Chain A
Amino acid sequence: MKKSVLLASLTSAAALLCLAAPSFADDAADGLARAKANIAKYQSKPQFTAPGEPFDAKSCAKGKKMLSIPNNSGNPFLKGIIDRMKTAGAEVGLEVREWENQGQPSQWVQGVEMATREKYNIIDLISGIDPGTIEPQLKAAKEAGVKVMTSHFYDPSFKQNPVVSSSLTIGFGEIGTILADWSAVATEGKANIALVISKEVPPTIPLVENFKKQLAANCPTCKIVQEINVGVTEWGTKIQPAVQSAVQAHPEINVVIPIYDSMSQFVIPALRLAGKTGQVKVATFNGTPFVLDYIQQGLADMDIGESLDWIAYATVDGHLRDACGLKTPTALNVPFYIFDKSNAAEAGTPAKFDTGYGDAYKAGFRKLWGIQ
């Protein structure tokens, strides 16, 4: 009797396993298919989607001026956006001025005070200045009638500081999902990942959270082998030895993801020294030209970029809408675009900011603004 019960149990267990095994395989295949479908969205040339209703931008912008304060004027990415905002603003008559600074909060304070004193209409905190850092000055500006806006800083999941009138958010979480799906697809579901991050930079949190969620959802067989957290000021001295050590200690690592692409200048030499160039894939985010060059040279594999010019037009559009009391978009709506070896050359040789994304947005915004 006992024997037959045992036999029956074993048989049913075996049957369950047989049923479950294809189901696991199906799950994995489904996950990979979902990952492929997701990254395909970012592999075609970005299309323009209107962020709102058309409006008369020229009469809205008339007599208005905006002070744009970057996190640090030394950052070519931010400098590039503001230079282009000046051009985009000039098309409709909005005066855009940059508050040049070297990343010191005391300099940001001076900028805000100057904008308040000289009765600017808009203070634009661009990419990196947390309004909480200079809240008293921003409050004073708000009380004096200056609208404080942010662009390219908050993730949609972040709570906006009450002093801020509107924010054009950027989907750092979305970046996380693209990086996760790309890793899964590039390794056919066998990604062993070293993740290089900087926790002190606020966007890192939603980016990494979504990366992990997406990886768990679409590639349960993929895993993060090591997470390397390096402060921004120490990238130059710590990323290279840490990545070298990681790939030596864990030879199974086949993908390294420096989440911001300027980190990759220290990842690439680490892989070169460890003799892993070409064996370990490198995927990252920002679309910085020298990293696009790396892809052309076969040293890196993928970089998610966004067009600076598009960001500039979208920022002018969003901020003008707010300044004129129109419905304001909550996001920048600038599409991300994947550069890999198939299209990195489109960014130019050597690569340039803004090249390779197409220019569908220019005509789109001009039409919306009623100037075409």
Chain B
Amino acid sequence: MNDTAKTGPSASSRRHLLRLFERYALLLVWVIIIALFSAAMPSSFFSWGNFSIMFASYAPAALLALAIIVPLTAGDYDLSVGATLTLSASTIGVLNVWHQMPILLVLLIVILMGVVVGLVHALFIIYFRVPSLVVTLGSTSVMSGLVQWMTNSSTIGGIDNSLIMAAVGYRLFGIPYAFYYAILAALIMWYIFDYMPLGRRLLFVGRGREVARLNGISVDKVRLGALIMSAVLSSAAGILYAGVLGSADPYSGLNFLLPAFAAAFLGATTIQPGRFNPWGAIVAVYFLATGITGLSMLGIPLWVTNVFNGGALILAVTISQITRGREASDIG
């Protein structure tokens, strides 16, 4: 009995330390790789200019990672975020450049388009009860086709300069505004997730729909909201992407899907381990971005970055599982 009394608090404090380590492990690794790259390239890598550019150019990816974690928290997959981003950027190109529509009106249309995409997803996922994986995979293909049709498979350059300026032209502390939009989105999301009943409901729905329903939560409404939010955020990521590039490209946005998912899952191992969380997703995006930037600067072939992305994801999730004593994961 005495033994138990002795080991109890020490085991609990060890567990507490482990949890603390788990919470900040990714941040720690991030700092370490920054230190390593900075030591290797003190003048070029370790400069504010380098970081400010990195922060801005990965802002669309950060927004996309945030878009993914909303339905993931509610237990649904949205594989169409890359296609929605592409649809949004291409629509900006077609309407603004080819049809000369004012940029503000175009942005409004694009956001509304995000709402429509979310509603269509919800119709099939919630009303017809088709698995979200199937619906969003199908809609990815539909949207890709539509984009090729409306852009004639061409890149559209010459997007309104005010959008480019709003994304990468104006700077605060040397960092283009694009970064702050992503941070603002994370801030709002964090507040909703952590301090509003809506965030709790979202989490409950994701952890167990039946239990949530029995507790009086309107599960369908919460899932509907999550799917709309995801599509709207993806559209916003498309706006940011068009602003960063200054053009609309009918293909490349689709490639953001896997890195965004990697960031979402990697982010769920940090800050609030075991839960998809906005700050974790942001940290994960910029952790991966730091790795890619550093490796590119060292002149290492770019296939290494794929290995880095995938390796970092598997390793981080594995470490997280080990620190939690290999208990069943809450995610995926």
Which residues of A pack against B, CB within 8 Å?
74-76, 79, 226, 228-230, 233-238, 240-242, 244-246, 248-251, 262, 265-266, 268-270, 272-275, 288-291, 293-294, 297, 350
B245 in contact with A290 (CB, 8 Å): no
CB-CB contacts below 8 Å: B235-250 with A = 244-247, 249
**How far is A270 from B245 in the complex, measured between Cα atoms in Å?**
8
**Residue in B58, B148, B247, B297 whose beta carbon sits within 8 Å of that of A245 in the complex:** B297
- A266 neighbours in B (Cβ, 8 Å): 245, 252
A249 in contact with B44 (CB, 8 Å): yes
Q: Which 6 A/B pairs are nearest by Cβ-Cβ distance? A: A236-B252, A290-B157, A245-B296, A249-B297, A249-B44, A74-B153
11 additional A-B residue pairs with CB within 8 Å, beyond A226-B299, A272-B164: A75-B153, A76-B153, A229-B302, A236-B255, A245-B293, A248-B53, A268-B245, A269-B244, A273-B56, A290-B157, A294-B157
B246 in contact with A241 (CB, 8 Å): no
B252 in contact with A244 (CB, 8 Å): no
- A226 neighbours in B (Cβ, 8 Å): 299
B168 in contact with A290 (CB, 8 Å): no
**How far is A358 from B225 in the complex, measured between Cα atoms in Å?**
56
**How far is A293 from B97 in the complex, measured between Cα atoms in Å?**
12
Q: With A237-B256, A273-B176 as given contacts, are A248 and B49 in contact (CB-CB < 8 Å)?
A: yes
- B57 neighbours in A (Cβ, 8 Å): 240-241, 244, 269-270, 273
**Chain B, Cβ-Cβ closest to A74:** B153
**Residue in B45, B154, B252 whose beta carbon sits within 8 Å of that of A237 in the complex:** B252
**How far is A289 from B40 in the complex, measured between Cα atoms in Å?**
41
B281 within 8 Å of A (CB atoms): no
A-B contact pairs, 11 of them (CB 8 A): A234-B302, A236-B249, A236-B255, A237-B255, A238-B292, A244-B53, A245-B296, A275-B49, A291-B157, A293-B158, A350-B158
**How far is A249 from B37 in the complex, measured between Cα atoms in Å?**
12
**Chain B, Cβ-Cβ closest to A72:** B153
**How far is A289 from B155 in the complex, measured between Cα atoms in Å?**
9
**How far is A187 from B276 in the complex, measured between Cα atoms in Å?**
51
Which residues of B pack against A, CB within 8 Å?
41, 44-45, 47, 49-50, 53-54, 56-58, 97, 148, 152-158, 164, 168, 176, 244-247, 249, 251-253, 255-256, 259, 289, 292-293, 296-299, 301-302, 305
Report B303 CB to chain A, min CB distance, Å.
Answer: 8
A242 in contact with B156 (CB, 8 Å): no
**Chain B, Cβ-Cβ closest to A297:** B158
Report B47 CB to chain A, min CB distance, Å.
Answer: 7
A265 in contact with B53 (CB, 8 Å): no
- A230 neighbours in B (Cβ, 8 Å): 302
The interface residues of chain A, by DSSP majority, are classed as helix
**Chain A, Cβ-Cβ closest to B292:** A241
- B155 neighbours in A (Cβ, 8 Å): 262, 265, 288, 290
A246 in contact with B253 (CB, 8 Å): no
**Residue in A241, A265, A272, A273 whose beta carbon sits within 8 Å of that of B296 in the complex:** A241
A235 in contact with B289 (CB, 8 Å): no
- A249 neighbours in B (Cβ, 8 Å): 41, 44-45, 297-299
Report A355 CB to chain B, min CB distance, Å.
Answer: 15
A228 in contact with B252 (CB, 8 Å): no
Report A117 CB to chain B, min CB distance, Å.
Answer: 28
Report A71 CB to chain B, min CB distance, Å.
Answer: 12
A272 in contact with B292 (CB, 8 Å): no
B247 in contact with A290 (CB, 8 Å): yes
- B298 neighbours in A (Cβ, 8 Å): 249
Report B9 CB to chain A, min CB distance, Å.
Answer: 48
- B45 neighbours in A (Cβ, 8 Å): 248-249
Report B90 CB to chain A, min CB distance, Å.
Answer: 13
**How far is A288 from B156 in the complex, measured between Cα atoms in Å?**
11
**Residue in B44, B153, B245 whose beta carbon sits within 8 Å of that of A265 in the complex:** B245
- B302 neighbours in A (Cβ, 8 Å): 228-230, 234, 238, 242
- A79 neighbours in B (Cβ, 8 Å): 153
**How far is A249 from B299 in the complex, measured between Cα atoms in Å?**
9
